Amino acid sequence: MDAGAEEEFTRFVADRTVALLRVAHALTGDQHAAEDLVQNALAKAMLRWRHIEENPEAYVRRILYNDHISGWRRRRSRPETPMAAVPEPAGTDGTDAFHLRLQLRAALLELPPRQRAVIVLRYLDDRSEREVAEILGCREGTVASQASRALAKLRRLVPAPVTEAWR
Amino acid sequence: MTDDLDRLLRDTVTDLAAESEPKDLMPAVRARARRIRLVHGAGYLAAALTATLLLVVPYLTVHRDHGLPPVTVSPSCRAPRPAWSA
């Protein structure tokens, strides 16, 4: 990599690391696993910089999602979430928004990597089914079925008062 | 899915993303790129070495000079002509 390309790449990393770490954290639920994922994606991008400098962000994000799915750091794919105290279960009236979100978060982290990637792409990146399919390298039908399975699982994992509205 | 759940799921994913802490990853990225390049280089080297061995070893086995004289047929060793051909 020549000096100009190196400078460009360094600028890209400085500009985009925060956004990439956010996506990776949403995927893994763990800071260290997120850093690993982003480092790996950026290192691969660095090696192919001359070929991807037209749209490096798309390339890096594609690697990020696909590495996550392929279980590149499988041992960290289901991290524990450190908390100061064990959260109380949600009340039966389902009005405790904080607890609901904690439970939904735990349920999200229980999803298999591909389903979590679909949810993150849909709800964090606001991608359409077609775009999700392009990024993950699969068909739109697969994306739809993965999303449907993910939501079905969330229905099972999150208590009834939360999911009543989903039916 | 209702709008309520849509919002709840969106908020939860956004919260999860917001928990990430910014960090300068450039030194680690450089080190990892070097490692990946090294692993790839070692892979290419191993492949080249394997291909060379696969070509060279059979060649040497077949064409090795054992120090024996070339096989020739001496006139004195010719088989006698059959009687009926005289």
Nearest Cα residue in chain B from A48? B33
Residues 12 through 71 of chain B touching chain A, CB cutoff 8 Å = 12-26, 28-30, 32-33, 35-37
Is residue A140's pLDDT more than 80? yes
pLDDT band at A80 (very low <50, low <70, confident <90, very high): low
B2 contacts in A (CB within 8 Å)?
A: 165-166
- H or E segment at A27? helix A3-28
Burial code of A80-90, b = ≥16 C-beta within 10 A, e = fewer?
Answer: eeeeeeeeeeb
Write out chain B residues lying below 8 Å of A120, CB-based.
13, 17
Confidence of residue A53 (pLDDT cuts 50, 70, 90): confident
Answer whether A8 touches B (CB < 8 Å): no
Do the Cβ atoms of A26 and B17 come within 8 Å?
yes
User: B39 vs chain A: nearest CA distance in angstroms?
Assistant: 13
Class of domain A96-167: mainly alpha
Q: Would you say domain A1-77 falls under CATH 1.10.860?
A: no
Residues 6+ apart with CB under 8 A from B30: A43, A46
Same CATH fold assignment for domains A1-77 and A96-167: no
* Residue A100 CB partners (closer than 8 Å, separation 6+): A90, A94, A158, A162, B8
* Contact between B36 and A43 using a beta-carbon 8 Å cutoff: yes
Nearest residue on chain A to B8, alpha-carbon basis: A101
Is residue B2 within 8 Å of residue A165, measured between CB atoms? yes
Q: Report which of A101, A147, A66 is spatially closest to residue B4, judged by C-alpha positions.
A: A101
Mark yes or no for CB contact A47/B20 under 8 Å: no
Q: Is the pLDDT of residue A88 over 60?
A: no
Most confident of A81-85, B20-24, B64-68: B20-24
What ipTM is given for this predicted complex?
Answer: 0.74
Distances (CA, A) of B46 to A62, B28, B49, B53, B60: 30, 27, 5, 10, 21
Given a cut of 90, whether residue B34 has pLDDT beyond it is yes
Domain boundaries, chain A: 1-77, 96-167
Structure tokens at A73: 């750091």
User: Which chain B residues are closer than 8 Å to A35 by Cβ?
Assistant: 23, 25, 28
Q: Which residue of B has its CA nearest to A126?
A: B10
Binned at pLDDT 50, 70 and 90, residue B82 comes out as confident
